[in-house]
Amino acid sequence: MEKIILVIHLFLAIGLVVTVLLQKSEGGALGIGGGGGGGLVSVRGSGNFLTRATAVMAGCFLLTSLTLAIMAGAHNKRGIDLDQPATSGQPAVPAKPAVPSVPLSK
Alpha carbon distance 10, 51 (integer Å): 20
SS3 76: coil
Of the candidates 3, 21, 16, the one whose C-alpha atom is nearest the C-alpha of residue 61 is 16
- Whole-model pTM: value is 0.55
Cβ atoms of 5 and 64 within 8 Å: the answer is: yes
Average pLDDT value for residue range 9-24: 92
Task: List, for residues 44-59, the tens digit of each pLDDT value.
Answer: 566 688 889 999 999 9
Alpha carbon distance 57, 16 (integer Å): 6
Alpha carbon distance 56, 32 (integer Å): 21
Domain ranges across the chain? 2-22+41-75
